[in-house]
Structures are given as C-alpha cells and as structure tokens.
Structure 1
Amino acid sequence: MIELPYLLKHENICRLEGGNILIGDRRVFPFEKRFEVCSSVAQVAQALRSMVTQGGGPLEVALQTMVFVTRQMQSGDLPSGFSTLADAADQLIAARPTNTTMQRTLQGLLAQVRMFASDPDELAQAVGRQVQSILDGFDRLYHQMGRMGSTLLDQDSVVLTTCFAEHTFLLSLAYAQESGKKIRVLANETRPYLQGSRLTAPSLEEMGIKVQVVTDGMGATFLVEGKVDAYMTAVDLLCMDGTVVNKVGTLSNAIAARYIGVPYYAFSISPDQTKQGRDDVNMEMRSPKEITRCMGLPTTLDSIGGLYPAFDIIPPALVTALVTPKGILKPEQVKRSFQ
C-alpha cells in the first residue's frame, strides 16, 4: 500500500487547533518538525509570503483559513458577512500571486457558499463541507495523475527533478516502483530554500525510493553524460498555450533535456484559463536578501545585492508532455482539452 510521506499528510500541511491555524514549517524540515502558529488571516498571509509552506501547501492552508474565518465569525471575533470571507481570500491570494491555483480555487469556493452568507452558522457549515469536498477531490486527482505519470517511466529510470513537486510526482515514482520498476532520483538542492535537498530527498527516502542530491548547476552535466532518463517537475502555473511556470532553475534543465533528447514531463492539475501565454504571467520577484543568505547564513558581503525571480517561464516547445486529469497531453492539446 502506498503511503504519503510526513510532509504531504493533511495534518502536517496545516490544521486547525483551538483558535489557531498551525502550518507545517517547511523552512526547518527535516531537521525540525515545527509548526507556525497563526491566529489571524494577516498572520497566515505573512506565513505564505515568508515561505513557511510552498508548492501545493499554500492552497491547503488557504482553504483551511476559510474554515478558520467562518469559525471566528461564529464566535464574534470577526464581523459576520460575506465581505469578511472575501477579504480574507483577497489577502491570501495577494500573498502568492504567481501560483493562481489558489486564487481560482478560493474564488470558486466563494461562489459556492455566497448563498449562505446571511447566516454565520450556515455559512460555516457550507464552507466546511465545500473545503472537505475540494480536498477529497484533489486527493483523488493526485493518485489518478500519479498512476498516469508512472507509465512514462521505463523499467530502469533515473529521474531528474527540480524543487518539491509534491503529490503527483512522488506518487508517480511510488506507483512505478510498486509495479516493479527500478527508480532512482537526482534531486536539485533548489536554492535559496533548498526544497530539493530538504523536502524532496527526505520524502523520497521515507517512501523507499532511491535519491541523491545534486546542486542546481549539475543537471546539464548528468543529462549530457546520459545519466538521466526523464526530467519531471511540478507546474506552479500552466498557461492555455502549454507554457509552464515553475521554480527558477527549471528552464535551464528543460533546455538541456531538449538538447540531449531527454523527455521533460510536467504535472498540472489544470491550466489557468485567464493566462493565454507568457505575456499574461505575473512574475514574482522576491527580495534579493533571500539569495545572499542560505539557511540563515550569509553567502556574500552585506554590501552586495542580488536578483531573485522566483520562477522560470518554460516555453511549450521544451515540454514533452503534461500529466493532467484530462490525460497525458502535448502542450498544444491543453487549450482544447480544458475549454
């Protein structure tokens, strides 16, 4: 039986406890299993900006925050009314603007529960039901896409990945291994937060999948040497033309993979239908201070600045296929498959 690693269990992503939201602090994992305690929407939004969680984490945190807000409305700690819930959603969306899955999901949730806005108790019940339904739906999709992704891997496969691709990627490897395939992963360390070495590698080890950590600049070398059979990543944002947006560092490996002839597969729950292509992407530029330090330690002089675009935009020509709930698609098939 396939079991998700510690980081991807719902209660470790976030949970409501007492009058607080506890968010699993991925900044200190695997050295500590710590939770960031938030007692307001503003604190949750700040936690998202501060990268307490990332990838699919902000979506689940945002959904649970909607439940949290309705409970505060019931207790009188927040004003009753739909505008309070909508304002909370706006704060969360603004905290992580590039990954629009959270935005689209929250807006869909608001549309579903608006009719219950006049009664705080009915609103709380409706939000709770809808959030649980959304989370259950995502869980089903993760396994569905994981099974599809496993078919893309050969009997003996070395997979290069960037950042922490979470459920669909890890489940693809797990289902492939369960079917008898021998899988090994090269995980980029992923500066500046080291999600590859701190999140991906320990999670794979926990699941019994062989993994080795490499630095961000080593991918092309292993590709050229014929030591990689597939490149796989998550997708932070998928445009309708098949353009992929993912953690900075993804583009250079995608270019190298195309040059060598190694397939690049990306996992996406759905495209953002408001984003036709790269010109519609709102790129998140983060503080230069985040790349002049690593794990709290300076990597250069304080007088020296830096540049930190948080994501890469990968053109459709570099993407071999996308693993989606609609099937394994070529980039040019995205628009007609999701219209």
Structure 2
Amino acid sequence: MKNIAGLSIKTEQSQLYILDQTQLPHQQSWLHCTEVNQMVTMIQQLQVRGAPAIGMAASLLLAYRAEQGDSREQLLQSAEVLRAARPTAVNLMNNLDAMAAALVQQDYVGAAVECAEQLFAEDVQLCLQMAAHGAALVQPGERLLTHCNTGGLATAGVGTAFGVIRLAHQQGKQIQLWVDETRPLLQGGRLTAWECQQLGIPYQLICDNMAAMLMARGQVDRIFVGADRIAANGDFANKVGTYSLAVLAHYHRIPFYVVAPHTTVDPGCSDGGQIPIEQRPAAEVRGVSGSFGSVCWSPEQASVFNPAFDVTPAKLVTGWVLDSGVFEGAAVAAGVLTRLR
C-alpha cells in the first residue's frame, strides 16, 4: 500500500494507523491497527467514527490483511465481520461490497489494495464537490449551526456538512458557527470544536437544548448536518438529536440541509422506517468518559434508552447537498436521489 494521509486515518510503510478520537481534543494518539477484531472494537468504541471514515478504515484494513497473506476466503469472512460493526452506516456496507468484488479477481491482493486506495481518493474528491455545492448556498455574514462532527475526522477529505462550513469560511464569507455539543458522546464539543480551532473558524459551543432559543431569537440563518444513511425517499438517519433540529428549523422557517456523498444514498431502503438504528451502551448516558477519565452522575443501575441515531423525514429537509449537486423536494420526489446511485 502507498502512503495515505487523512486527518484521522493514515498508512505509512504499508501499516495502518487510526487517530483515537475518544482522546480528542486534549490528546492526539495514533493507534496501529493490524487485526479485524481490533478494528471492530475501534469502530464500536468510536475511536474511528463518521460513516465515510468507518468505510475507509475497514477497506484499508482488508487491504493490509491481504498484503499480510490472508487468503481470499479469510478476507471475505473478515469483510462480513466488519460489516456487522455498525449497522446504520451504509458507507461501510458499500465499501465492503466494493472490496468483496475486488477479492474475486485473480490477483486479489493487488485488486484489494487498489480498491481501498481508490475508495479513499474518491472520498477526498466527493468531499470537495459537496463543499463547493453547499458553500454556494451560504450568504456572507450568516450564522450557521451544525450537529455532531462531519469534518475531516469523519471522512477521508474535508468533510461533509463541516466541509461546506469550512469552505464558506475560506471564501471569506465571515460566517459564525453554532456548534451543538451533541449528547451523549459530545462529538460536537470535543471534535467539531477542535477542528474549528485548528482552522480558525469563528464558533460558539452550545448545549443541544439551546438551539431552540437561538432560532427563536433569529440568531440561526442556516443549518447543515451530515447523514449515515439516506433512504430512497429522502428520509435520513444521522446522529441522535438531528430530528429535533429539523423540527425546530421547520417551525422557525430556517433552511435545513443534509450533506452527504452519493455513497450514503441507499436505494434499497424505501424510507426511514427501514433504517436500522444502533443501540449504544447505557454507560454513555449514565455518565461520561474521555481522556480525563470517567464520571457516573446517575444511579449506577438507571435504565437507559440510548439510540445512536434518529431518522429525519424528508418533508423537513430543505435540500440534500450531494457531490453531484443540491436537490430539493420536487427532485427527491421524482426519484433523483435513487438514480444517482
């Protein structure tokens, strides 16, 4: 494998390294990943996260294992193990489908390596295209709001929703960004805020339940969020709390956009009700853990409901920003999203 460098994934001398996102923003620790079960743990513990980044990490690990001498049958079995690591993120499924197709080639080792490298390079380009389409929507001086983390930490490139925000800032549009902390794992407070600091983007961190007040005061002009899976009818799953923002935006008549590559569209999924929603461990809600340690603030045996994602219906979405363009309600109703795949 050639050397590849992303914000959260890199290969050096044919070795795969993952930036441990659970340690951010205070520690930057790169983990050497060599085994399938190790990658499954990294994905499930959110050491690597974001639908595109999960797909990239899994693909590169399979390429690494191929170079290490795993048989075709072993690699196909490993792909199935990785597929089950996070059920909502369709990019993981798509990347593993592409890798499985490469593994049936006669030179399956070379084909696997080439496929993984191409998937990485493709995501970099898709991010740039999404950023360009989305940034064209942003007007000078707008106050934007985003949820969770959708930047370079979640992709191979500049990001999805955050890539739009990043480019608008680089274009000198004098934007201001509201960053939802994103309970319960604080991806906004830990990761998006960190990326903003690195890039010099003006931002203010807010608790998730403060967004309604800002909208009522007229202090939010436009909202950009990402997606882990977009159904054929435009419904989409994203980090839990996204649906609440969409309802609030609809009530306050604020443009609400979902930004994702075409690889996140799942034409085999008719609507949001068909999207599998991952349930996370109760400890994530009972307290908090990070580079600082762990704290439990609830009764230790408190019963917990902890879905990782919620589903936003298409009727609440102003537009879908994909790498191929911006699509609005009528376009989605005509099945454009499905045909893009």
Q: TM-score scaled to structure 2, two decimals?
A: 0.89
Give 1:66's aligned amino acid. Answer: L
1:132/1:19 CA distance change after superposition, 3 Å:
closer
The 5 A counterparts of 1:126-137 are 126-137=111-122
| Structure 2 contact 34–64 (Cα < 8 Å) conserved | no
1:301 aligned partner: 299
| Structure 1 contact 63–131 (Cα < 8 Å) conserved | yes
How far apart in 2 are the matches of 1:240 and 1:332?
13
| Structure 2 contact 319–327 (Cα < 8 Å) conserved | yes
Give 2:281's aligned amino acid. Answer: S
What is the deviation of 1:331?
4.4
2:154 aligned partner: none
The 5 A counterparts of 1:14-25 are 14-16=9-11, 21-25=16-20
1:162 aligned partner: 147
1:41 aligned partner: 36
SS of equivalent residue, structure 2 residue 115: helix
How far apart in 1 are the matches of 2:109 and 2:281?
37
| Structure 1 contact 157–184 (Cα < 8 Å) conserved | yes
| Structure 1 contact 12–23 (Cα < 8 Å) conserved | no
1:107 aligned partner: 97
Give 1:142's aligned amino acid. Answer: C
How far apart in 2 are the matches of 1:309 and 1:190?
13
2:208 aligned partner: 216
Q: Does 1:336 align with 2:336?
A: yes
| Structure 1 contact 241–331 (Cα < 8 Å) conserved | no
The 5 A counterparts of 1:139-218 are 139-166=124-151, 167-218=159-210
Residue deviations 1:224-272 (CA, integer Å, cap 9, x gap): 1100001111111100100011000111111000000001011111211
What is the deviation of 1:92?
1.1
What is the deviation of 1:169?
2.3
What is the deviation of 1:336?
2.8
What is the deviation of 1:19?
8.4
| Structure with bigger RCO (C-alpha 8 Å, 6+ apart) | 2
Gaps of 5+ in 2: 152-158
How far apart in 2 are the matches of 1:163 and 1:291?
16
How far apart in 2 are the matches of 1:165 and 1:248?
14
How far apart in 2 are the matches of 1:215 and 1:297?
19
Runs of 4+ residues deviating >4 angstroms: 16-20
Give 1:164's aligned amino acid. Answer: N
SS of equivalent residue, structure 1 residue 156: coil
| Structure 2 contact 225–258 (Cα < 8 Å) conserved | yes
What is the deviation of 1:30?
1.1
SS of equivalent residue, structure 2 residue 138: coil
SS of equivalent residue, structure 1 residue 307: coil
What is the deviation of 1:148?
0.7
What is the deviation of 1:337?
4.2
1:59 aligned partner: 55
Number of residue pairs matched by the alignment: 320
Of 291, 300, 320, the residue aligned with 2:285 is 291
SS of equivalent residue, structure 1 residue 15: strand
Identity among equivalent positions (%) equals: 26
Gaps of 5+ in 1: 1-8, 117-121
